[in-house]
Structure 1
Amino acid sequence: MGRLNIFLLALVIFCAMVVVEQQHAARSLFVALGQEQQAEHQIEVAFTRLQLQQVTLAKGERVDAVARTELGMSPPAPGSVVFMPLDGGFQYE
């Protein structure tokens, strides 16, 4: 009977150690999950800022102002625009 008790005690201690190890692993994964969720939130905020910046920079007024001031561009003269219809040939404005 003594050997059985020692065997059962060893089995209980082994099971307790496995439970402690599994709980530690679960807590470590939970902490990692929280960190990844925080990183995801930061990425979403940065993406939203980039979308807002893209909308701001793509506005027609901004593009027109940059083209005129920084690139020195101006609208074409009315007589220099040539339209090509789908059926072929040229049409002058």
Structure 2
Amino acid sequence: MTTCLKKLYKNYLQPQDIKFPEQILCKITVAVVEALKYLEDEHGIIHRDVKPENILLHKNGAIKLCDFGIAAKLSDEKAMKSGIATMLYCSPERL
């Protein structure tokens, strides 16, 4: 993969005061949601650490989700209730 979403924004777009085009953000969002749905439906896994650093982009347009270090099986009740995640990206109810 070429870069992650955070590095693309921080190193290339932000210094030039360029905003992400809405069409690109839509494609990234759809790809991430499809990946999360696939993980849940096919493998019973929730990712639990979706953040810009874990969304990888390739120059050919491929989008991938990475870093399954704190992913959990849906049946693993203890893992589901743990507070492990990147706090900056946690939902308000988790905080």
Which TM-score tier does this pair reach, normalised by the shorter chain?
under 0.3
TM-score, normalized by length of structure 2?
Answer: 0.26
Higher strand share: 2
Higher helix share: 1
The structure with higher relative contact order (CA 8 Å, sep 6+) is: 2
Larger radius of gyration: 1
TM-score, normalized by length of structure 1?
Answer: 0.27
